[in-house]
């Protein structure tokens, strides 16, 4: 079992953040198109010292990011799109929805509070490269080799049996849970197989970047237009 390097996890986190931001920007653009959300009014309110939008935006990002993490982590994919792009997945001894929810909640709080830096430093110094959210949920981030989605090699088997002895595992359910932790999810449904495609999420990542740029240009245009009118 190969634990993912911190540098690769950082880029996976960056990709996830971009994808979530792209989704949020898409939602705001749709609301603007439907005249439910007005960027012009937003700029005017900010100029008057009304920053309530940022509070609502913060809450929206928290909820979307949380749902994003929970849905992907508790599915058969066991990975977020950012990690899928870089061929990584999250494994756990005796995985459960509760563990996925705990990990996701703590990670999102870290991300939106700036504690993600501290969590990353913790992963640097832990034996299995576990961040704070990994330690609390008892999860691990491992590299996923798509060329070896079959029965583990003899070397993997030796490592597996050695780990069984170390933990004192005897029952089949415990062995199955350990295999999932060490080797990840080898069997996926057709839908899961499609959703676990790195190419798919790489395309989504590019589209997210484009949408973020479009939304940023809309805001910049409104700001310039506002100050042009004010200076007349």
Tell me the pLDDT of the chain (232 aa) as tens digits.
Answer: 688 999 999 999 999 999 999 999 999 999 888 888 887 888 888 888 888 888 888 888 889 999 999 999 888 888 999 999 999 989 887 778 888 899 999 998 998 888 888 998 999 998 889 999 999 998 989 887 665 554 444 445 666 666 666 767 655 556 656 666 565 555 556 777 788 899 999 999 999 999 999 999 988 888 888 777 766 5
Q: Are residues 157 and 194 in the same domain?
A: no
Q: Does residue 1 belong to any structural domain of this protein?
A: no
Judge if 154 and 226 occupy the same domain. Answer: no
Residues 38 and 118 placed together within one structural domain of the fold: yes
169 shares its domain with 113: no
Residue 218 lies in a domain: yes
Residues 116 and 129 in one domain: yes
Indicate the number of domains in the chain.
Answer: 2
Same domain, 224 and 168: no
Domain span holding position 159: 150-183
pTM for the model: 0.78
Q: What is the DSSP string of the chain?
A: --BPPHHHHHHHHHHHHHHHHHHHHHHHHHHHHTTSS-HHHHHHHHHTT--HHHHHHHHHHHHHHHHHHHHHHTSTT-S-HHHHHTTEEEEESS--HHHHHHHHHHHHHHHHHTTHHHHHHHHHHSTT---HHHHHHTEEEEE--GGG-SSPPHHHHHHHHHHHHHHT--SHHHHHHHHHHHH------HHHHHHT-HHHHHHHHHHHHHHHHHHHHHHHHHHHHHHHHHH-
The reply to whether 161 and 57 lie within a common domain is no
């Amino acid at each position: 079992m190969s634990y993912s390097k911190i540098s690769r996890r950082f880029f996976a986190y960056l990709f996830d953040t971009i994808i979530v931001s792209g989704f949020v920007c898409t939602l705001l653009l749709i609301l603007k198109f439907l005249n439910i959300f007005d960027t012009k009014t937003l700029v005017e309110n900010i100029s008057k010292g009304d920053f309530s939008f940022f509070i609502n935006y913060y809450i929206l990002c928290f909820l979307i990011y949380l749902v994003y993490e929970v849905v992907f982590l508790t599915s058969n994919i066991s990975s977020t799109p950012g990690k899928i792009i870089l061929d990584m997945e999250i494994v756990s001894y005796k995985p459960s929805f509760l563990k996925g929810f705990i990990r996701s909640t703590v990670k999102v709080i870290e991300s939106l509070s700036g504690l993600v830096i501290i969590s990353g430093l913790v992963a640097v110094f832990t034996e299995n490269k576990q961040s704070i959210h990994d330690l609390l949920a008892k999860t691990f981030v491992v590299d996923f080799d798509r060329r070896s989605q079959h029965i583990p090699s003899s070397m993997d088997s030796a490592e597996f049996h050695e780990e069984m002895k170390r933990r004192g595992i005897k029952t089949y359910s415990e062995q199955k849970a350990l295999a999932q932790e060490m080797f990840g999810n080898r069997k996926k449904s057709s839908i899961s197989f499609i959703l676990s495609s790195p190419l798919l999420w790489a395309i989504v990542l590019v589209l997210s970047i484009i949408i973020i740029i479009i939304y940023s240009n809309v805001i910049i245009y409104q700001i310039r237009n506002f100050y042009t009118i004010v200076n007349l």
